[in-house]
């Protein structure tokens, strides 16, 4: 019993010292700001820090609401049986430390990206792959995304772990969103919807304040398919032209009541109050990292001139 108590005390002291070393000190001055999203001279998006004072006079940082779309991996897994508050906090610290080494830009499902990883078998020890993001998921250090491209008439998909130390560079060549959150149906679509040149250059955006939504609707090849796409209520697919019996079966297995199930929705999401606390915890460091990168870019452009 004494050994267990000593071990528990040691773990608590280790965790507290780790937090003190990595935690961001907050200003004690009470300041009130509104969420302001502007662009600098280079046309890059910038979200200002938002601070409000509560009734007790303490400073409370409020992160912009769009953070839950820009950084969904900072939100923990909503499954309560697997949650651990200490583990989640330590993971967020590791994620911020990793982001200080490599830039992980904003991207969404449907964005065209390029990822460079270390490859010991490659002649130059690096491998670069270009593709469209068809799915992203995971939370914390287990966050991942899938890129798809058609190379020499063969569909190629690579799953990348976002915080893997082998990743050297992540580029967003075309920032956009699609009508669906998952584009796995591109596996059964015509190849031209998943074909991108491997030497594709980044596209410059005219308006950096709004992420465009691509209304493109793809055409699927004839059956058989990998999944029952007619049962998934897809918005980015053209009419499937199936016999009526397929739609009748889809209607029988559908669960239209789930969108009204409040408890099911609660169990699958993180409460808004907890989201605000998490993003307020990481916002200041994310903003500082973004400002440092912009300063390095400007210095590099000045040196070239």
Query: Domains of the chain, with CATH numbers?
Result: 66-285 (2.30.30.790)
Q: What is the average pLDDT score of the chain?
A: 84
Tens of pLDDT, residues 47-60: 544 555 555 555 55
**For 102-130, what is the mean pLDDT?**
95
Among the residues of the chain, which ranges form H helices?
A: 2-22, 67-70, 85-99, 244-253, 262-268, 272-304
The mean pLDDT value for 222-236 works out to 94
| DSSP string covering 71-135 | -GGGSPP--GGG--HHHHHHHHHHHHHHHTTS------TT-EEEEEEE-TTSTTSEEEEEEEEEE
Inform me whether the pLDDT recorded for 86 exceeds 70: yes
At 303, the pLDDT band (50, 70, 90 cuts) reads low
The percent of residues above 70 in pLDDT, for the chain, comes to 78
Name the CA radius of gyration of the chain, rounded. Answer: 23
pLDDT bucket at 126, cuts 50 / 70 / 90 = very high
> What is the per-residue pLDDT for 34?
44
- Beta carbons within 8 Å of 68's beta carbon, 6+ residues apart: 75, 275, 279
Residue 235: pLDDT over 70: yes
What does the pLDDT look like over 152-177, one tens digit per residue? Answer: 999 999 999 999 999 999 999 999 99
Tokens standing for residue 285: 């460091």
| pLDDT above 90 for 179 | yes
* pLDDT over 80 at 16, yes or no: no
In our burial notation (b when 16+ CB lie closer than 10 A, e otherwise), range 147-176 reads: bbbbeeeeeebeebebbeeebeebbbbbbb
For residue 28, the model assigns a pLDDT of 37
Q: What are phi and psi of 223, to 5 degrees?
A: -60, 155
Q: 173: part of which helix (H) or strand (E)? A: strand 167-174
Over the stretch 196-224, which tens digit does the pLDDT of each residue have? 999 999 998 876 778 999 999 999 999 99
C-alpha dist (Å) from residue 123 to 103, 115, 118, 119, 165: 25, 17, 11, 9, 20
Centre a 10 Å sphere on the Cβ of residue 226 and count the other Cβ atoms it contains.
Answer: 9
- 112 near 174, Cβ under 8 Å? yes
Query: Minimum mean pLDDT among 41-45, 105-109, 153-157, 276-280: which range?
Result: 41-45
């Amino acid at each position: 019993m004494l050994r267990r108590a000593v071990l528990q005390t040691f773990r608590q002291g280790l965790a507290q010292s780790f937090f003190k070393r990595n935690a961001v000190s907050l200003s004690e001055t009470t300041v009130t700001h509104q969420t302001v999203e502007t662009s600098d001279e280079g046309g890059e998006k910038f979200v200002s820090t938002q601070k409000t004072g509560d009734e007790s006079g303490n400073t409370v940082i409020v992160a912009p609401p769009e953070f839950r779309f820009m950084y969904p991996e900072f939100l923990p897994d909503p499954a309560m049986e697997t949650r651990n508050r200490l583990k989640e906090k330590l993971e967020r610290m590791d994620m911020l430390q990793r982001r200080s080494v490599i830039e992980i830009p904003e991207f969404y499902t449907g964005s065209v990206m390029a990822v460079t990883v270390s490859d010991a078998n490659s002649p130059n020890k690096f491998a670069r792959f270009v593709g469209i993001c068809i799915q992203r998921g995971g939370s914390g250090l287990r966050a991942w995304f899938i890129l798809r491209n058609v190379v020499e008439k063969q569909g190629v998909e690579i799953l990348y772990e976002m915080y893997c130390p082998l990743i050297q560079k992540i580029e967003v060549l075309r920032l956009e969103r699609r009508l669906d959150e998952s584009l796995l149906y591109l596996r059964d679509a015509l190849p031209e919807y998943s074909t991108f040149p491997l030497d594709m250059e980044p596209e410059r955006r005219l308006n950096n304040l709004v992420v465009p939504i691509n209304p493109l609707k793809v055409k699927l090849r004839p059956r058989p398919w990998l999944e029952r796409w007619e049962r998934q209520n897809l918005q980015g697919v053209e009419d499937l032209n199936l016999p009526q019996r397929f739609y009748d079966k889809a209607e029988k297995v559908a669960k239209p009541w789930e969108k009204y199930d409040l408890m099911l929705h609660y169990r699958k999401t993180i409460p808004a109050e907890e989201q605000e606390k998490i993003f307020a915890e990481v916002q200041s460091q994310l903003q500082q990292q973004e400002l440092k990168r912009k300063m390095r870019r400007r210095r590099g452009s000045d040196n070239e001139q």
